[in-house]
Amino acid sequence: MSEPVKKNMIPLSEPEISGNEWKYIKDCLDTGWVSSVGSYVDRFEKMLAGYTGTKYAVAVVNGTSALHVSLIACGVCSGDEVIVPTLTFIAPVNTVRYCGAYPVFMDCDAETLCLDIQKLIDFFKNECAQNKDGYTYNKNTKRRIKAIIPVHIFGHPAELDGLVEVCKKYHIDIIEDATESLGSEYKGKRSGSFGKTGCFSFNGNKIITTGGGGMVVTDDYALAKRVKHLTTQAKKDPFEFDHDEVGFNYRLTNIQAAMGVAQMERLDEFICVKRKNAEIYRNLLSDINGIRFSGERPEVKSNFWFYTINVDKKYKNSLMKYLISKDIQVRPIWRLIHTLPMYKDSQVYKIENAVYAYETCINLPCSVSLKEKEIKYIVENIKKYFESL
Stretch that binds ligand PLP, among 22-30, 83-91, 161-169, 231-239 (CB under 6 A): 83-91
Q: 375, 366 in Cβ contact below 8 A?
A: no
Piece of the chain touching ligand PLP by CB under 6 A; list 157-165, 177-185, 307-315, 368-376: 177-185
Give the range of 10-18, 27-35, 56-64, 325-333 binding ligand PLP by CB under 6 A: 56-64
Instruction: Please state, in angstroms and as integers, the Cα–Cα distance from residue 297 to each residue in 62, 115, 153, 184, 248, following that order.
Output: 29, 14, 13, 12, 39
Report which of 271, 371, 369 is spatially closest to residue 18, judged by C-alpha positions: 369
The distance of closest approach from Cβ of residue 102 to ligand PLP in the complex, given in angstroms and rounded to an integer, is 19
User: Segment contacting ligand PLP (CB under 6 A): 88-96, 183-191, 291-299, 352-360?
Assistant: 88-96
* HSE-up of residue 345 (Cα within 13 Å, Cβ side): 3
Query: Maximum distance among all alpha carbons in the chain?
Result: 71
> Which of 81, 107, 109, 180 is the binder for ligand PLP (CB under 6 A)?
180
176 is an interface residue for ligand PLP by CB under 6 A: no
CA distances from 19 to 64, 252, 262 (A): 27, 20, 6
In the complex, minimum distance from the CB of residue 203 to ligand PLP, in angstroms, rounded to a whole number: 4
76, 84, 91, 259: which one contacts ligand PLP (CB under 6 A)?
A: 91
Question: Under the criterion CB under 6 A, does residue 181 sit at the interface with ligand PLP?
Answer: no
In the bound complex, what is the minimum distance in angstroms from residue 367's beta carbon to ligand PLP?
A: 16
Q: Is 303 in the site for ligand PLP (CB under 6 A)?
A: no
Q: Which residues fall within 8 angstroms of residue 166, CB to CB, at 6 or more apart?
A: 117, 120, 121, 124, 172
Q: How many residues bind ligand PLP (CB under 6 A)?
A: 14
C-beta closer to ligand PLP: residue 96 or 375: 96
Q: Tell the smallest beta-carbon distance from residue 176 to ligand PLP (Å).
A: 10
Q: Which of 33, 89, 281, 293 is in the footprint of ligand PLP by CB under 6 A?
A: 89
Least CB distance to ligand PLP at residue 151 (A): 5
Contacts (CB under 6 A) with ligand PLP, residues 195-224: 201, 203, 214
Q: Nearer Cβ to ligand PLP, position 258 or 284?
A: 258
Residue (25 or 91) nearer to ligand PLP, CB? 91
What is the C-alpha to C-alpha distance for residues 143 and 195, in angstroms, rounded to an integer?
22
For ligand PLP, the closer of residues 136 and 263 by Cβ is 263
Whole-angstrom CA distances from 224 to 69, 174, 189, 292, 296 are 10, 15, 20, 41, 32
For Cα atoms 316, 318, 324, give the angle at the middle one, nearest 5 degrees.
Answer: 105
Distance separating alpha carbons of residues 77 and 385, to the nearest angstrom: 51
- Tell me if residue 70 falls in helix, strand or coil: helix
Comparing CA positions, the residue from 235, 229, 382 lying closest to residue 312 is 382
- CA 334 vs. chain centroid, Å, equals 13
Judged by the rule CB under 6 A, the positions of this chain that interact with ligand PLP are 62-64, 88-89, 91-92, 151, 177, 179-180, 201, 203, 214
